[in-house]
Amino acid sequence: MKAMRKAENRKRIFIIAGMWILLMMLAALAPMAAEASDGQLRLTVEQTFTSSSASVDNVFTYRLKGQGAGTPMPSGSTGEGYTFTIAGSHSIEIGPMVYDKASIYRYELYQVIAAELPGYTYDTRVYTLEVYVDAWRNVELVVWNRDGTKAEKIRFENAYYVLPSDPGLMVDPPVRKTVFGNPNRDSTFRFTLTANEMPQPMPQGSVGGVKTIEVVGSGRGEFGVWSYDRAGTYYYTVRELNTGLSGYTYDTTVYTITDMVSEKNGQLVVYRVVANNLNKPVAALAFLNQYSPVIIPGGENPRPSIIPGGVITDAGPPGGGLDENAPDPVGERDLPRIDGPKTGDDSDLALSVSLLAAGGLMAIGAVWLLGRERKHSSRPSPR
């Protein structure tokens, strides 16, 4: 009997100690549960916005809508639900929603798209929110994607990208080269299109923001076209390179191309102005070069050449002197004979010469006869 009483006493001690530990744990946890179970819920909604332009509208509208009557809603809600906006790439907090009884509450959260504007990409996802509230007003939120998977956060992604400008509508002013001075062969001239800043859109074939083209002799050339994918103002310069060809005076004009790119109905459009160094608008990039042959003292200088029309010029190779390897455009055998017409003065001269020759012959004959007579008269007469 004594042993049985000892065993029962031990059992009572263990039970009392266990209850005491349980009461201590409940006492410790009770304040935490009271702090966490305020029956309120706040939602964090995140938006990201990417754009190719800083001047477009980046404010988008969202709506939280309760499913069923009596679903707690944030202050300021209407019959359509709670509507709010987010600007740019930011996140906001909405609520609180206050729950006073245990239940399961459901909501839908989505973006309100009144009309899809050109260039915009909208996030059309719809989130389903389930809020579990127990008897102690503990609140637990579960967010579901439309496909039934759990979402880690409530996030919407919007963007704006305009269509690039149409290169076919871009004005491409030609480079027009004019050479004065009649060189005997055409030389090659170079011109550059340079971007004011990097990176800027450039035509195909550009290197490091510079496009170089060549024009042979008097002629024209084009740099080509390109497209823009961002609105703004872009500047370019066009000039001729002085490559040091002998005999040429180069045009030092510098032209400025200003492209003002703006958005119109989701499309970038370009308004271009081309001006010379006097800031006067022009329709073409005109460059005028003067050629003067180089005269080498004591050396072989450019020979005259006859061109149609009878104009004689001192055209020679650009370096001055005679280019022995160059084909002769007008050979000596091809030079035309320059004969004057027969005139009356020429006929009189021929007649005078003929008469003078005849007179001379007659004089010589007279002298000969006179000498013969004198010789006979000086001989003695025969007896």
pLDDT digits (tens, 9 = 90+) for 27-52: 444 333 333 368 999 999 999 999 87
User: Within a domain: residue 124?
Assistant: yes
The runs of H, that is alpha helices, within 218-330 are none
Closest CA to 19 of 9, 7, 11, 31: 11
- pLDDT on residue 295: 73
Is residue 297 domain-resident?
no
CATH code, 125: 2.60.40.3050
Instruction: Give CA angle at 11 (23, 19), nearest 5°.
Output: 5
Higher pLDDT, 351 or 232: 232
pTM, two decimals, is 0.51
Is residue 90 assigned to a domain? yes
Same domain as 279, residue 231: yes
Q: What is the DSSP letter of 78?
A: B
Mean pLDDT across 247-264: 95
Look-up: residue for tokens 């009309």? Answer: 115
Mean pLDDT of 290-317: 54
- The domain in which residue 209 lies consists of 167-291
Question: Is there a single domain that holds both residue 60 and residue 119?
Answer: yes
CA torsion through residues 18, 22, 27, 28, sign: positive
Query: Peptide bond preceding 74: is omega within 30 degrees of 0, i.e. cis?
Result: no
**Are 225 and 125 within one domain?**
no
Is 286 part of a structural domain of the chain?
yes
Residue 57 sits in the same domain as residue 130: yes
Same domain, 154 and 226: no
pLDDT per position as a tens digit, 176-208: 999 999 898 999 999 999 999 988 999 999 999
Number of structural domains found in the chain: 2
For 113, list phi and psi in degrees, rounded to 5.
Answer: -115, 100
Q: Are residues 90 and 181 in the same domain?
A: no
Q: Largest alpha-carbon pair distance within the chain?
A: 236
Residues 78 and 179 in one domain: no
**Residue where one domain finishes, among candidates 143, 160, 177:** 160
Determine how β-strand 126-133 pairs with β-strand 103-112: antiparallel
Q: Is 354 helix (H, G, I), strand (E, B) or coil?
A: helix
202, 287: one domain = yes
CA angle in degrees (0–180, nearest 5) for 199-202-208: 55
- From first CA to last CA, the distance across the chain in angstroms is 236
The verdict on 138 and 252 lying in the same domain is no
Q: Where does the pLDDT of residue 377 fall: very low under 50, low under 70, confident under 90, or very high at 90 and above?
A: low
Determine the pLDDT at residue 4. Answer: 63
- Whether pLDDT at 376 is above 60: no
Q: Give the residue among 208, 160, 187, 176 at the shortest CA–CA distance from 57.
A: 160
Q: In what order do the strands lie in the sheet with 40-51?
A: 90-98, 40-51, 154-160, 120-121
Domain boundary among 160, 190, 221: 160
Does residue 363 belong to any structural domain of this protein?
Answer: no
Q: Which residue has the higher pLDDT, 342 or 148?
A: 148
Residue at which a domain ends, from 101, 135, 160: 160
